[in-house]
Chains A and B, each alone.
Chain A
Amino acid sequence: MTTVEKLKKILVEDLNLQELSPGDIDENAPLFGEGLGLDSLDAVELIVIIQKRFGIEIQNLDEGKAAFQSVHTLASYIEGRLSGG
């Protein structure tokens, strides 16, 4: 499973996106506001989810901001951190 696929599944399960299936998520759509419709509480939850699922610590929301644009940017960020970047 690619990081993008893994992330979509995690988003649906851990954020309980009831009516969506992982396949419905456009990896380039914005996570927040329009697009997936996540909010500030999801943002901090996502930081915990990434810590728990990938062992990656994001120190603050500013650090996460660039990565949290879309599933695609988040996947790239995670892959970068996992490969020691």
Chain B
Amino acid sequence: MSGTARIVLEGIGVVGGFGCGIADLSRALAEGNDRPGTLSLSTGSGPIEFPAFRADTSRLKEFVPARTLRRIDHFSKLALLGSHLALADAGLAETEHERLGLIIASGYGATGITYAFLKSFINDGDICASPTYFANSVHNSAAAHISIVLGARGPSLTVSQFDLSVPSALTSVRQWLLEGRVDRVLFGAVEELSELIGYAWYRQRGAPRMPMTPLWTGKETAIPAEGAAFFLFSRTEEARAGYCTLETAVTGSPANAGFPLPGDGLLLLGADGRRETGRRYAVLAENARIACYTPLYGSMPAGPAFDLASAALIIKEGRIFPSPGDASLDFPATIPAGGEPAGADRISCLTLAGDKAYGLTTLGKLPGTTGECARED
């Protein structure tokens, strides 16, 4: 939709069940390593334990002093770690935060600290409610902590659109850069698998079991997850090097009318083993060339940000990673094996939400880059 302005992805910072950093994600994608950890919960019928993708924030101490973290909860730690990893990956110096915008997407927000806040007054009376927990329970707490730690005084936005949080927020990433409001946007999606979310998952979907097979469309195979995926985007004239361009980011509905699927590119599906969206992915992706990597990072509203990181790696490396699990069943699409050339200049990430809505984000090859990514036809 734009004329000459291009938005370039300069750096990626990811933390999730697969590990910490873009190298860990790249390795997991190459190896198809889909081994989650576990989540232990108490329930009305006793304690249970089930597979879940948990994220470890211990590397945050490499970037932020312990004292600064003293009242920062797991949710914001995930976001802080993701943002520092993305800035480091882009090689951005600590002083370059002038005209930096910050956009965060989260479906569920800081649910752990929200539950802690409720417990503080449920247990000890309304007068004993913890103000620190309350202050951290707002959805934009992660954005606040990041802007404070980085000293980033540009515009800040947090979006909570459940499953569409990521594509919806990416619309604003594009707008801010195209409008020239800022020169760079630090964008990230973050999700915390707190006790409360884990319990709600268990009650709604039952205890998940291995393996996660999102392309078996009739079956519920989702495994809950947490993590953060952050990206540093900038306008072309500002970019030094990077992974790819951000071509489009749209959300809307209905998904079956005037749906702008890419003609020749690879379609990366956000299908994550939840039965309610599985069939719609199959219908929409019919005859497309698809890949799906959710079994590597699990099911969470921030999941599409990990799809985006995976797509960026494919564009950068010029070849497709294998879609994990036994995907050769009856899914009505072409699923390339690992190692195949990417085969097009563009990759689109498709996300479907509970109702008719969809989000579609398209990444493209960097201008001026050559080689592996050339069209096959």
A: residues with CB less than 8 A from B are 15-19, 37, 41-42, 44-45, 48, 51-52, 57
Query: Do the beta carbons of A52 and B124 come within 8 Å of each other?
Result: yes
B: residues with CB less than 8 A from A are 66-67, 69-71, 120, 124, 127-132, 135
Residue of B nearest to A17 (CB): B70
20 intermolecular pairs with C-beta atoms under 8 Å apart:
A15-B70, A16-B70, A17-B67, A18-B66, A18-B67, A18-B69, A18-B70, A19-B66, A19-B67, A37-B67, A41-B71, A41-B135, A42-B132, A44-B131, A45-B130, A45-B131, A48-B127, A51-B128, A52-B124, A52-B128
- The SS class assigned to the B binding surface is helix
Q: Which residues of A contact B66 (CB under 8 A)?
A: 18-19
Query: Do the beta carbons of B70 and A57 come within 8 Å of each other?
Result: no
> Measured between alpha carbons, how far is A19 from B124 in the docked complex, in Å?
28
> Measured between alpha carbons, how far is A37 from B67 in the docked complex, in Å?
10
Query: Do the beta carbons of A41 and B131 come within 8 Å of each other?
Result: yes
Q: Which residues of A contact B131 (CB under 8 A)?
A: 41, 44-45, 48
Q: Which residues of A contact B69 (CB under 8 A)?
A: 18
Query: Which of B66, B120, B132: most chain A Cβ within 10 A?
Result: B132
Identify the 10 closest CB pairs spanning chains A and B, nearest first: A18-B66, A44-B131, A16-B70, A45-B132, A52-B128, A18-B70, A45-B131, A48-B128, A52-B124, A19-B66
Shortest CB distance A38–B (Å): 10
User: Which residue in B124, B129, B132 is a CB contact (below 8 Å) of A41?
Assistant: B132
Residue of B nearest to A18 (CB): B66
Q: Would A51 and B70 be within 8 Å (CB), given that A41-B135, A45-B132 are in contact?
A: no
